[in-house]
Amino acid sequence: MSSLKVSKICCIGAGYVGGPTCSVIALKCPHIKVTIVDLNQARIDAWNSSDYNLPIYEPGLERVVRETRGRNLFFSTDVDGAIQEADLIFVSVNTPTKKSGIGAGYAADLNYVEKATRRIARTATTSKIVVEKSTVPCRTAESMRTILEANSKPNTHFSILSNPEFLAEGTAVADLLNPDRVLIGSLQSPLGKQACEALCEVYANWVPRERILTVGLWSSELSKLAANAMLAQRISSINALSAICEATGANIDEVAHAVGKDSRIGPQFLRASVGFGGSCFQKDILNLVYLSESLHLPEVGAYWRQVVEMNEYQKRRFTRRVVDALFKTITGKRIAILGFAFKADTGDTRESAAITLVKHFMEERALITIYDPQVEHEQIWMDLTEVSPMYSLHQIKKQVSIATSALDACMDAEAVVIATEWKEFALLDWESVYENMSKPAFVFDGRLLLDQAKLTQIGFKVSTIGRGAEIPEGLMI
């Protein structure tokens, strides 16, 4: 069986997955031409911008693009041209949760995947390796293969692979350069294994062979959902314990440290917060819930649904803590929200806890000022309009404003809420913040970021997630 050699790669989708992934492939495989295509002209223009004002923020990404763009990395809207010349095609399009129809609120919307697949079938005149890069439900590759085979031209064959991404936003480039593992799923036929080996050869340019795992197609698809579900489960577990800590006077940091010292558990993803966000965790768990119920496994679906329900409870609980501390009402009170991205070192706001917090504070008729060092103002307004459909943008702007610095956001505020763990918030001149706030001045740390003792010494009334009031010595038994 002759081996397949990949010399030209096309990636359909220039977003958070396709952009960084294929930029790093271009960096590490200078002998392979990599073309990233997207129908969004503005996005492609940003990738091609002369000042490297890229459409997504990831530490280290600009350096990679500077080194490769124009050499063997190209960004284009010519989707058909890139498909035609490629040996291997990554499908890296969005798979949001369905908003209507069967499975609404749970199932993945595969409309973009199907459109991309049909376009490949319509355009390709030579055989291709087609790789699922988007997070998809189990057995999506079977649907893709059916579409490709039904619409393929004579003497044109398509091999389907699954190659899910396991990137963490904020460390995506580092994750790509030094991955824990690369997972490739294929049909266990001779052609399937041949295509799998061709993709293995691409990654082997920089990833040790022992970290490249080859499995069956369906196992690969399910592994991505399983990994995200189990990571989110750990976050919801520690957040559930944070509620007990606040009620008992225990410290969630101390509990997490003690638990994480158990080698069977480990310390990763045991940091309590106001809630997880991002494009994957909630979407993938809900997808798993829908899959379970579709397979007549309601108990399994209920188990995973509780992970998401706990996450929503954590955000509601945090809101209630703010309202209770501010004398049971925040109507007309100024609240500074520091951070709007779902985590530090990214500009991504998808499913960000900050969106929900602002929505809740708006419903309580507070006056809110938001600051985030990376999120575009337009994105903030879009997110708030989407989450509050009963409000027009004009109405939202009566209650919400956006500041250009953390100090400006905190000016005259009665409370500061840490919603994203940006390092600059820990390094703020908190004495200046205190001087310019209304008194009493409250700080609500939803990310375990700040030095509570230091802020208390300055004069703040500090509430940290997962920490209850200490029991006075006189009440101890």
Q: How far apart are CA 76 and CA 22, in angstroms?
A: 13
Q: Burial level of 419, CB count in 10 A (0-12/13-18/19+)?
A: buried
CA-closest candidate to residue 88, choices 166, 187, 165, 200: 200
**Residue 136 near residue 110 (C-beta atoms within 8 A):** yes
Spatial strand order of the sheet with 212-216 comes to 73-76, 33-37, 8-12, 88-91, 128-132, 158-162, 182-186, 212-216
Q: In the block, which residue shows the tokens 């209920």?
A: 302
Bond before 154 cis per omega within 30 degrees = no
> Residues of 116-134 as b/e, b for ≥16 C-beta within 10 angstroms?
bbebbbebbeeebbbbbbb
Q: How far is CA 308 from the centre of its chain?
A: 15
DSSP type of residue 474:
G
Is 200 in the active site?
A: no
Q: How far apart are CA 92 and CA 117, in angstroms?
A: 11
Q: Which of 11, 22, 280, 410 is catalytic?
A: 280
* CB-CB neighbours of 107 under 10 Å: 20
User: Which residues are known catalytic residues?
Assistant: 280
